[in-house]
Structure 1
Amino acid sequence: MSTPHISSTPVLRTALVWGAIVTVVVAAVGGGIGFAMAGADGMFSALAGAAIAAVFMLLTAVSILVANRWFGDDLYVPIFFGVVLGGWLLKLVLFIVALMVLRGQPWIVPGIFFVSLVVSVVASLAIDAIAMLRSRTPYVDVQLPGEGASDGAVEDGPAKDS
């Protein structure tokens, strides 16, 4: 018996790959702009903002991919929502901890950190939307006539009046 195909897996993988690429670009451009505006502190602030956004994007996609491993199990739905909700709670705790740790750091330039974080989050959301729109994911998982027939015969559709 083969494992069932989950249509969201390619979308999440595409979003992860493009999200990583965009994170590197935002970190490089933001780091350069931050360095030009505030020196090394500005560069590190931009890198920290991009890194935090990347970690949160990664946690969401990875939690869904991990939860999908139970697809087909009788307890799939509760396991899926438990894993994803646990991932969101972990992100909330990590975000609060990160802000508490970074709040008083002398090397953080608040404006540059904020802009880098917001640009990274918006870019991540755009990547997710584009990946979903281009995914050609079916609305419903159905078996078309003739796909699963072992004898090669096509099943008859609704009766037609002649």
Structure 2
Amino acid sequence: MTSITPARRPSSTPVLRTALVWGGIVTVVLLVVGAVVGLSVGGAGGLGSALAGVAVSAFFLAVTAASILIANRWFGDPLYVPIFFGIVLGGWLLKLVLFIVAIVVLREQAWVSPVIFYVALVVSVVASLVVDVVVLLRMRIPSASDVSLPTDPDEGDRRS
């Protein structure tokens, strides 16, 4: 792996890190709110269902950002593009398989209230999307980032 200086990191790295941090904070808030609402609406089964719905959503939504951050470690390497897409696609395939397994396993559990689980899952996904939009709107990223323009061979290097 090629050593990367902080100036050579992709401009998406701070956005993804910020989204993961704020997503984690929102997840903790949703876990608390989901626990209270789930317990009051459905008892112990509602509590478990709400916590499971928020946890499943948070895990699967964080995998994409984390896989991109991991793939960005190879930024500047000649094989960056295939490595990037291999890691991100692998993360998406892993998420798909694990999501199907989680739904099948949780569906068979007697303590799961499907309505509470579904509502917690949807609320968590919507909250994560809101976090992503707010982070993207507030981050200051140049319109043409991660680009270096070639120099004019007739004029020489204009950086001086």
Q: Same-fold call, TM > 0.5? A: yes
Give the drift of 1:139.
1.6
Distance 1:104 1:67 in 2: 36
User: Contact 2:9/2:72 (CA < 8 Å) preserved in 1?
Assistant: no
CA offset digits 1:90-138 (Å, max 9, x no partner): 0000000001100110100011000000000111111111111111111
Secondary structure of the equivalent of 1:136? coil
- TM-score, normalised by the number of residues in structure 1: 0.85
Distance 1:42-1:77 versus aligned 2 partners, 3 A rule = same
How far does the alpha carbon of each residue in 1:10-31 deviate from its partner, in whole angstroms, 9 at most, with x for none?
1111111110111111111111
Residue 154 (structure 1) shift: 6.9
Matching of residues 7-156 of structure 1 within 5 Å: 7-141=11-145
Between the aligned partners of 1:54 and 1:5, the Cα distance in structure 2 is: 26
**Paired amino acid for 2:131:** I
Identical positions, percent: 63
Q: Distance in 2 between matches of 1:138 and 1:80?
A: 22
Q: Spell out, residue by residue over 1:20-66, the C-alpha distance to the aligned partner (whole angstroms, 9 max, x if none).
A: 11111111111111100111110110000000011112211110000
Note the C-alpha offset of 1:5.
2.4
Q: Structure 1: how far apart are the matches of 2:20 and 2:90? A: 20
* Structure of larger gyration radius: 1
Pairwise CA RMSD of aligned residues?
Answer: 1.8
Whether the 8 Å contact between 2:74 and 2:80 is mirrored in structure 1 is: yes
Listed as ranges, the gaps of 5+ residues in structure 1 are 145-152, 156-162
Structure 2 alignment gaps of length 5 or more: 150-157
Aligned residues: 147
| CA distance in structure 1 between the aligned counterparts of 2:81 and 2:64, rounded to whole angstroms | 17
Amino acid aligned to 2:75: F
Q: Secondary structure at the match of 2:48?
A: helix
Q: Distance in 1 between matches of 2:120 and 2:141?
A: 32
SS in 1 for 2:139: coil
